[in-house]
Amino acid sequence: MATRPVTFLVNGKLHSVANANPLESLLTYLHEAGIKGTKLGCGEGGCGACTVVVSFFNKSLGSVCHRAVNACLMPLCAADGTAITTIEGLKSTTALHPIQERMVKSNAIQCGFCTPGIIMALYAYLLEHPNATESSLQSCLDGNLCRCTGYRPIIDVAKSFARKTCLGTCTTTDIETLPVAPPSIPVEFLTEARTPLFASTPQCSWFVPQTLSELLELKRLHPKAEIVVGNTEVGIFNHFKGSYPGHIIYPANIPELLSFSTTEDGAFIGAALSLTDLEIKLESLIASMDKAKAKIFVEMIRQLERFAGHQVRNVACLGANLATASPTSDMNPILLASGAVVHVASSTGKRTVNISDWFIGYRKVALAPEEVIVSIFVPFTKPNEFVSAFKQSRRLHDDIAVVTACFRVTLQEVPNEPAPSSVTATSAPILRWDSASFNAAVASGSGFVAQPPSQSLFPPTNKKWVVQSCSLAFGAMDARTRLASSTGQFLTGKSWDFSILPGVIRAFATDFPIAAKVPGGMPEYRRTMTGSLFFKFFMDVYANIHGSTSVPPQYLSAAKKSFDRAVMKSVVDFDCATPKCPTDVVGTPVTHICADKLATGEAVFASDVDAPYHAVMIQSSKAHARIVSIDATKALAMEGVLRVFTAKDVPGTNVFPATKDEEVFASSEVLCVGYPVGVVVARTHEIARNAARLVQVQYEELPAVLTIDDAIRTNSWLAPPIVYETGDINAGFKASDHVIEGEMSVNGQEHFYMETNVVVATPREDEIELFCSTQNTSKTQSSVATVLGIPSNAVTVKCKRAGGGFGGKETRNIFVAVACAVPAYIMKKPIKLWMDRDVDMSITGTRHPFLCRYKVGFMNSGKLVAADFTLYSNCGYSLDLSIPVMSRALFHVDNAYFFENLRATGHMAKTNKPSNTAFRGFGAPQGMCVTEQIMIRIAQMLAKPVNPLRELNFYKEGEMTHYGMQVKNNFMARVWAELLEKSEFKKREHEVTVFNAQQRYRKRGIACIPVKFGLAFTQSALNQAGSLVHIYVDGSVLISHGGCEIGQGLHTKMAQICSTALGIPLSMVRVGDTSSDKVPNSSPTAASSQSDLNGMAVLLACTALKERLEKFRATLPPTPEPLPWDKLVQAAYAARVDLCAHGFYETSAVKFDFKTGKGNPFSYFVFGAACSEVEIDTLTGDHTILRSDVVMDIGKSLNPSIDIGQIEGAFIQGSGWSTLEELVNFPNGSYYTLGPSTYKIPGVVDVPSDFRVYILRDVENPMAVHSSKGIGEPPLFLGHSVFFAIQNAITSARAEEGIQGFFQMSLPASCEQIRLACRDAFTDPTPNAGIKGESWTTVESRPTPDDLHQLP
């Protein structure tokens, strides 16, 4: 039932939806309407893939606005009266939009799944900010994620639209005209009066009151109704919990709730005013008033900059922050500290609530069910009042807070006796400490202690300021936002000097006695942050009241709140081939052949394919248990549900793949949380998802093994250990001058491909066709055939393109495919199984976490003599690819260094976690990481710089690895020398030293690391590829090959090879879908080898065709000019010449005997090196990457622009893994990190401010097509240069507290690890205590104990 249809414009066309569903999102509607350029990436507004532009008349500003919003969260009903522009609406009938065009030409597109959202976010911002700066244009993409590109080309495109600054010497024609025009929308459509909308379904009703009185009456009638403005809280809760409100009230038209006004005492902020509009109003207010009165508003704006992304701020409001009362709210501590007043109303009257009385419990506030928040009054700051707001999160921008705070203090100047002129600042003696963790000569410590800075360190002052009043508000330190009352009482009446700091630290401990099992985890870090953030505030206020000269320069860094990041700049340096003719395109930087389609939303992904029925998995809630019963009665009773399938319904074999250690659906036992128990098939995805929640499974729990430590303790292994060795390690240790032992733990990494796993299965007579987002069509085909009990020739698997993969779709898409194929085959109906982001992340597995133990012997010179490595990997419940992953880790544990004596042993732990799998690098980075840590430790022990030690131990040409392969065509020394030169390492290393000497609480670090990466599948049989090349009568060419396009530009390179080989324009070549019925038995698209394998197969097929046609040409009568290609083809067809060729290529060089552990597991090596410089805030643990230089040997590049993109993307993925991307688990074995809100991949502000990539010139590789090299995986490890630079910075910070000796972090270097490693008076006295005991959350990567002992 509805009063009228929901009416809105989409790309200029009127859409009228009768009986709209209040629970339906705009994105769902767009997809059902066939408008599919807007993508679904997460369903929680955290990735930006679904960004559209909403144009509406903004009543609070009195003008038409164009705002980027997340269509996955925007209710369809909220679109009423607006104009929606999607990616399809930008392109004209004849040309790309300028943003689309620049994205294409700048090679800013790889998989392309994120591209529409990025373009729309940029478009919306330019419409609202025609004079935008480069900095703001980079920041406007803070709500968009990209997993492929590394952001550099995207940022370049954004910056290109910045209004150029005229210095007075230019004419107007010198300033680039902004090529972005608003969409053509009739203003009258946006402003016309409409009948209030009411929409209703049996499940939910939607109300749109027009006046405050109507709103209050609705709340009287429906006190449990949810008031929704941006839907950024309610929408996410409903999506993930499956609990939907019976009534929704949308108050977007009520003037009182959209208002902003000021009085003599402060400002009234309408509860529904969007945060973007609030920011606009505050900026205008601040510009027009006394800055001393606006301090609280300055802090509000500063905090808003880190509040989610632009898409969320464009719709979220302050009232919702107060009503939902999330303890992690960014804004509520500011309101609490400011002394705000909440104005509420109901049908019976109005009242005010002091903010101090507002928060009464976890998500409970002093608001009656029938009441509504109308406005919030925020008072101006008073003279001598100081305010600072803080937010600490895993990622600097668009992240949920770990701790939020706002401090307000009012000071009063009191008489003070002048300090004697003879008094000078003195330094307190620094105690000396060393780590018993790494120095066997040091006894176990009794606990590190330090004192905060004392007044004696600072020049005397002639003023005394006393705390008159203060409010210290914290979020995420309790179940509710609250004041640190004990600390506030302690401070009141105290002098604002350094004597208060010890008492403040003690008082905070009383206010927030956080237990180890505190929700949210990170107890030591959160306890540490209370004093750390206060100290930043203290120093800021101290410098303000006494003048900056009262603080020694090195201590001023404590008061800094953010990093001074410059707008990103970059260098891309490569050698481009000189074409011999227009068709000689190999080696040239041509753009991605589908880039224009990806930029316009026309490119089709598997997730875009429709099906009439949908399947959703029923997942285990236990880590290890026997299934007692499955009851689907409630699910089957739901309208729209067709059937539930379990193990008994599988027509063929329920066990797959070749290892026979996985089940399609659990028959009797579940092996991890999330394990598939069955699927529900329904008419829509939403119905199937809700029905799956209703399936009741009874379990008998069994003991669960969750970590590597658990596996070691219980002897739980998937396979026998793997051992590779050379020389005599025992003799090597005896001959060594020094022998060290240690261990390092390396966390896993979530793939976070932008398109989650999706399969569309369509039965056809006695066969079945699957359209998949996959990297492995053949393995998917054979597994589906086994499960259905039919031959492989009855199964066709196709992949047009995948929205990212990174190894995650090499095998882990298969269990999704078979789960979809079973119901489709039995029901004889097309079925789509598209995994929600949280489901995908809960069960598809990650990069293998590793524990690496080592014993290394070396000489006084630093020369490596012997090493014994023992590696443990957490494989999850099945083998999957864990054996080859471990093998590659063992192959690469030497990295670029020669060991005469080496043993590497690998143990594969069987745990009750999702089966971990391939990920870019495939185990090699885990092995290399520990070796680089060892090199740093050796350098510290010998008191030598580490880089010369690396050079001393680099492989020399022809030396033999520990697995018996010669290192040939070794460019490591040349790459390293070029890196040191290009990065200006010596100069910058000195600058870092100078900076650190001048800054106490900001430290910089710089680090260089090399990489030697073996290319090829280590399993010989996989090093083969086939291709099929068709020439049609019109001269056009179609290529089919076995590789899948996942964003790496594979199809583009294949087209280039074909174009050059046949001597035809690239425009005449098309690459078809990857399909198992075109090229059988294909190897997975993995191991960075697809250009090598498929490129040679395509080249061989094209060469055969070329020779065939040239032979035919020789039979033709001579002509003055060579016969054009199309005429030659037509003549050949008429003469019955075969215009189709099959190419097949196998790599004979790869021959490895796994029994003896000797041979050539690779075709060749790729060499590279990187240098990164970082800056850390020692008080918060935040970091920023100042500059990264990368030098790569990639042979003769097939396409330099694509290869540069692969290098940049891999580097950022590697730096993300080593810093931000922390997998967090609950103690029951389930993941806490299930989406962008909890798992943080790098964003646009997390990339280096200065990013420089150099391709080594004039190198050959005789082992691959056109002398090229595979490049997808090798650069990833170089991102760890950021990790080691951070560790270098921490070492400098520890030295400030007298802590000497080697220091090591586990991976990743999260803000928590960084802060707790920078030990000082504010750090929790028992670091890692929560990890040792039971905790609310756990991480696989365990910190090395920081066991410090005081030295005499």
- Beta bridge partners of residue 280, listed in sequence order: none
**Closest C-alpha to 623, from 519, 716, 706:** 706
Angle between the N-to-C axes of helices 98-105 and 152-159, in degrees from 0 to 180, rounded to the nearest 10: 140
Tokens standing for 1118? 């001579």
DSSP string over 1052-1114: HHHHHHHHHHHT--GGGEEE--EETTTS-SPPPS-TT-HHHHHHHHHHHHHHHHHHHHHHHHT
Residue count of the chain, please give it.
Answer: 1352
Inter-CA distances, 882 with 658, 910, 1272, Å? 14, 10, 20
Sheet containing 1183-1192: which strands, arranged edge to edge?
A: 569-573, 1250-1255, 1183-1192, 1164-1177, 1002-1015
Vertex 898, ends 894 and 902: CA angle to 5°? 65
Q: What is the CA radius of gyration of the chain?
A: 32
**Closest C-alpha to 1345, from 1310, 1313, 1298, 1315:** 1313
Q: Distance between CA atoms of 1214 and 1282, rounded to whole angstroms?
A: 9
Query: Residues 74, 556: contact at Cβ < 8 Å?
Result: no
Q: Distance between CA atoms of 665 and 1104, rounded to whole angstroms?
A: 47
**Is 784 strand, coil or helix?**
helix
Q: Is 735 exposed, middle or buried (0-12, 13-18, 19+ CB in 10 A)?
A: middle
| Sequence-distant (≥ 6) Cβ neighbours of residue 310 within 8 angstroms | 68, 121, 124, 125, 140, 142, 143, 276
Place of tokens 């200006």: 984
Q: Distance between CA atoms of 924 and 889, rounded to whole angstroms?
A: 4
Q: Which amino acid is at 1131?
A: A
Q: Distance between CA atoms of 599 and 1341, rounded to whole angstroms?
A: 39
Q: Distance between CA atoms of 1266 and 1259, rounded to whole angstroms?
A: 12
Q: Distance between CA atoms of 1059 and 487, rounded to whole angstroms?
A: 73
| Sequence-distant (≥ 6) Cβ neighbours of residue 615 within 8 angstroms | 679, 680, 681, 688, 819, 820, 823, 831, 832, 833
| Count of C-beta atoms within a 10 Å radius of residue 463 | 14
Query: Residues 83, 54: contact at Cβ < 8 Å?
Result: yes
**Is 274 strand, coil or helix?**
strand
- The residues assigned a catalytic role are 1273
Backbone angles phi, psi at 255, to 5 degrees: -55, -45
DSSP string over 870-903: EEEEE--SS-TTHHHHHHHHHHTTTTTB--SEEE
- Give the pairing type, strands 13-17 and 6-10: antiparallel
Q: Distance between CA atoms of 355 and 365, rounded to whole angstroms?
A: 10
Q: Distance between CA atoms of 808 and 812, rounded to whole angstroms?
A: 6
Tokens standing for 550? 């009262």
- The H or E element that residue 363 is part of is none
Query: Residues 878, 916: contact at Cβ < 8 Å?
Result: no
- Beta bridge partners of residue 412, listed in sequence order: 466
| C-alpha atoms less than 13 angstroms from C-alpha of 382 in its C-beta half-sphere | 11
